[in-house]
Structure 1
Amino acid sequence: MRRTAALLMTVLLASAGVLVAPSAAHAESTWIPGPNGGWCTAYPSGPFGVGVCSGIEPRRAWAVHATCESGISVTSGLRLGDGTATANCGSSPVRYTSIAIGPLVP
């Protein structure tokens, strides 16, 4: 059931033309306005890419992506509404982080 839901949300994010907020690993966090007046930010924290969204709709799907120094890309689990998500690079530092904001989930 979880895999089906995750696959469905991934397809929804990809097909909706998601809004992405990049953040370089050695720069300050990047803030983007979220849908309907909220905000989201993404920043590196050691081996984690961290994403935070606040003030967005409770049914709004989003995820944080991280590109590791090793070249591997990882993605957090999907979140709905306000919250924090992390993408784990294991023992490799994070080179780049971003937030993908998707559609409202029915």
Structure 2
Amino acid sequence: MRRTTALLMTSLLASAAALAAPTAAQARGTADTPTTGSCVAYLSGPFGVGVCSGLEPRRAWSVGAKCMSGITVTSGLRLGDGTATANCGPSRAYSTWYSIGPILP
């Protein structure tokens, strides 16, 4: 069961990252955009922070950040309302975004 869950989360994050450009994720709606609720992503030092509220409890989402060191980091997969962080470690984040995925069964 743990392997199945880990595999599903990994594929969802990879799909979301491949489909969403850092600036386009907030700019345009897609089939995966929730019809209710809202999300926002912002910078806080070495973190990219995402906050979602009003989402369906099984709606998958994550937040990502581009670090000054040149790497891109993402948070873990979240479901429904909550807060997520992407940590650049000792580097600072300079760009952040959120990705909204499907409703999980």
Please indicate the TM-score interval, normalised by the length of the shorter structure.
0.7 to 0.9
TM-score calculated relative to the size of structure 2: 0.78
**The residue matched to 1:7 in structure 2 has which SS?**
helix
List runs of 5+ in structure 1 lacking aligned partners: 24-29
Identity between Structure 1 and Structure 2 (%): 61
Structure 1: how far apart are the matches of 2:6 and 2:74? 12
TM-score calculated relative to the size of structure 1: 0.78
**Whose strand proportion is higher, 1 or 2?**
1
Within a 5 Å distance, the mapping from 1:1-106 to structure 2 comes to: 1=2, 4-13=4-13, 14=15, 22=23, 35-106=34-105
**Whose helix proportion is higher, 1 or 2?**
2
**The residue matched to 2:12 in structure 1 has which SS?**
helix
Change (3 A) 1:104 1:32: same
Alignment RMSD = 2.6
List runs of 5+ in structure 2 lacking aligned partners: none
Deviates more, 1:62-71 or 1:32-41: 32-41
The superposition leaves residues 35-83 of structure 1 with CA deviations (integer Å, 9 ceiling, x where unpaired) of 1221000011000000000001000000001110000111101000000
Contact kept? 1:40, 1:53, Cα under 8 Å: yes
**What letter matches 1:22 in structure 2?**
T
